[in-house]
A and B are shown apart, each in its own frame.
Chain A
Amino acid sequence: MTYPYGLKENPYPSSPTPTEHDARILGGTRHNEAKGAIIECISDLYRKISRKKATENDFRLITVVQDVGSGKTHLALHIKTLKTRQDIVTSYVDLSTISPKTNESIYGAMVSGFGRDLFSEMREKLLWQICDAAQKGDVHARRAIGYGFVDRLKGITMKQKTEDIIYDKKTISEEGLAGYLATNYSHHEAAVVKSTILRTEDRITNLDDLHGRLGAIARFSHNLLGKVILFELDELDSQEGTLDFVKSLINAHIPSSILLLITTPSVYLDVQRVNPSVFDRLEKANYKIDLAGANSIDELIEIAVEYIREADKTARFNKKEQQDLAAKIRVLCDEFPEFRNVRSIINILNHAVEKAADLGEQVISEPVIDETIKQTYPGLKIKGSIMEVPISEFIRIKRASGTTQNQVKEALSNLINYAHEMGNVSKSSKQNPSFDVVYSDAFGTKIGVAVVMDSSHTKNFEMISNVVKSSAFVDKLVILTNTSIPQSGQAIIVNVDKSKVVDLLYFSSKYSEHKLEEPETEKIKMLAKTICVI
């Protein structure tokens, strides 16, 4: 299947929540600024503790607060997937997936949140440490790697024995390891080393265990791998248990680690009510990432464009096509608040790309958007539209509405011509230059209509004032305008809003192309009535 813009696959994720794979792409100025702030925090901490022992002062707290669907999780996963920086290891935990939230379940989630790589690297380093100790004469270390008299006679080195364990050709002696750990490590460190080397699950029973283990992991990560630990806790809620846990984690000041808490404004403000002590701590976070304006139309456009740009290997998605897509998204978001959200716009674009591929379109065209919306949001209609303008036509009209005044004048003239053809009015053959159209209604009343829709309202006041001077030439004067002006005794002022303009232009284009159908007559009459021309 060929996708639009020459793409080999649909660049937009279909999942309602991002996956690590989806999060490789990060678009939008605000999202990138937020990413910059997090990276700055990591780099600062890394610089501070590199080549020295980390202390409890080397702990940072970051909060990310924004509404649902604004891209917080995407940002967190993007940070986790950053491959360019080798100085960080991230554990991403979605707290909403943990139930019940016990110390043990949270610890389990945090450990598995690191993924396998961290512990594989750590295992290797720890085994080499044991090898070093064995070479220096540590009896427990020698026992752990199973190095004995026979090995020495056979000419097997300690390094070889260690390599065999690393590559799973042999197993470590658990008894020997226990002795080695008891003499060289604290209780928590020993537990982490044991579970890492033996690849077993480390069970904890209380909060002290949890902090101790996490502290040990951070310490090993820093000392052995030179990496800062980033704990990302997503979907932070305001339940008492969660907040107690978060408070303890902040208080624990795990050295060489960063705690990144992700939540929504409603939860954040709930925390203030439920647990002021935690709220106070969150308020004093080292970095408070706001993502303000994350759902602004400009940001949404940047994000949408970034997905295609990243997937476009042939550079076919040029500036013109980017601007074209941006303009369509802008109209869509302007009209439908439903789409003013990162998750929603990505969702609709995912469907639109599939639809474009089905229809064999090379770009996400107006008809593609129309079809997509019909299928995915069947109830969606243009607000206030009498003519029931299809969304594709709406986008086309809105994008081409540079010279609205002239277009509306032409549409008005077409509307009166149509009414004349239908026998509702009689269009005057002798037109007056002061008005855009003059006609007589069924009662013989001579009606003049003027369109005053300049972008400058001051100019409109002047023009209306001039038109009103000519009111004596007709029995009734109607002024269609976009300027808010009080009703006058000499003219009927009709305020033409956005939806009426679109309706008029839609009617006009169908009339000009002779595509009006019988059922539309009533709608056209209704439109004419709403602007007081019939």
Chain B
Amino acid sequence: MNSQILERVVASGVCGIKKAELKKAFGKECDTSLDELAKDEKIIVDNKGVAHYVWSKENYVSHISENDPKFKIISGLVKNLENSVNQLKIDLASGPQADPGHRVYSDFKASFDGALSDLSTSMGWVQFTAIRQKVCDSLGISAEKFYSLALQLIESNEGKYEISTGGQEGIHVRGLLHGYVRRL
């Protein structure tokens, strides 16, 4: 019976449904069910005018937001607060403090792109060796770290970088040494 009552209450929307109407439909035994649902915070029973009305939790929040100015103000403030927290979470997740690995990666990307742009030839191709020297000097990372990050950068940006075989050092794809890179 609980689920049937809950369904009826949810269907009544923001206006809610009179408790008396529910009793008419489900009989006097519905009181126990209403108590259980109220205990589980699935429904709210409150007065509207002189009658007892029943709402689902979400609909009740909408109802009082419309009819209670105090709640409306507080609800607005809470929502703003929630948005700010969410925004902060996003900033934190994408920001430099979020994850040291992420920070290293984003610093690397900026440095790599900078070196690529500085060393670029007319066709855009640059030797990994030259970029590695520049990036490792500026970030203080090892050659192994450089190539592991470079591979990650290129694999996760398919279509943005292009690599080519040859050279003395670089990254291995298809078992071939790719010693040249450019941005597309």
Instruction: Report the bound CA distance from A264 to B162 in whole Å.
Output: 13
- Does A269 sit within 8 A of B, measured CB to CB? yes
Q: Which residue from B89, B98, B180 sits with its C-beta under 8 Å from A269?
A: B180
Would A297 and B158 count as touching, CB distance under 8 A? yes
Which B residue sits closest to A67, measured CB to CB? B164
Contacts of B163 in A (CB 8 A): 67
- How extensive is the interface on chain B, given as a class? 20 to 34
Least CB distance, A265 to chain B, in whole angstroms: 4
Which B residue sits closest to A462, measured CB to CB? B86
List 11 interface pairs A-B (beta carbons < 8 Å), by A numbering.
A67-B162, A68-B165, A265-B123, A265-B125, A266-B167, A268-B125, A283-B122, A292-B184, A338-B174, A461-B89, A483-B93
Contacts of A458 in B (CB 8 A): 86, 90
**Given known contacts A68-B165, A295-B162, A486-B98, A269 and B93 CB-to-CB distance under 8 angstroms:** no
Which A residue sits closest to B167, measured CB to CB? A266
**Given known contacts A264-B164, A265-B166, A293 and B184 CB-to-CB distance under 8 angstroms:** yes
Contacts of A483 in B (CB 8 A): 93
19 more CB-based (< 8 A) A-B contacts, given A265-B182, A267-B166, A295-B162: A66-B164, A265-B166, A265-B180, A266-B164, A266-B180, A268-B125, A269-B125, A288-B123, A292-B184, A293-B159, A293-B184, A296-B159, A297-B158, A338-B174, A461-B86, A461-B89, A461-B90, A465-B86, A486-B92
A-B contact count (CB 8 A): 78
Number of interface residues of A (CB under 8 A): 34
A-B pairs with the 6 shortest C-beta distances? A266-B166, A67-B164, A265-B125, A265-B164, A338-B174, A337-B173
- Does B59 sit within 8 A of A, measured CB to CB? no
Least CB distance, A95 to chain B, in whole angstroms: 17
Which B residue sits closest to A290, measured CB to CB? B123
Would A264 and B86 count as touching, CB distance under 8 A? no
Least CB distance, B167 to chain A, in whole angstroms: 6
Would A465 and B93 count as touching, CB distance under 8 A? no
Which B residue sits closest to A297, measured CB to CB? B158
Contacts of A288 in B (CB 8 A): 122-123
- Does A14 sit within 8 A of B, measured CB to CB? no
Contacts of A295 in B (CB 8 A): 162
Q: Which residue from A264, A296, A334, A341 sits with its C-beta under 8 Å from B166?
A: A264
- Does A344 sit within 8 A of B, measured CB to CB? yes
Instruction: Report the bound CA distance from A398 to B24 in whole Å.
Output: 53
Instruction: Report the bound CA distance from A461 to B94 in whole Å.
Output: 13
Q: Which residue from B86, B102, B176, B179 sits with its C-beta under 8 Å from A484?
A: B102
Contacts of B99 in A (CB 8 A): 484, 486
- Does B85 sit within 8 A of A, measured CB to CB? yes
- Does B35 sit within 8 A of A, measured CB to CB? no
- Does A65 sit within 8 A of B, measured CB to CB? yes
- Does A523 sit within 8 A of B, measured CB to CB? no
B interface footprint on A76-98 (CB within 8 Å = 1, 0 otherwise) = 00000000000000000000000
Which residues A273-293 have CB closer than 8 A to chain B?
283, 288, 290, 292-293
Which B residue sits closest to A487, measured CB to CB? B99
Which A residue sits closest to B179, measured CB to CB? A266
B interface footprint on A255-271 (CB within 8 Å = 1, 0 otherwise) = 00000000011111100
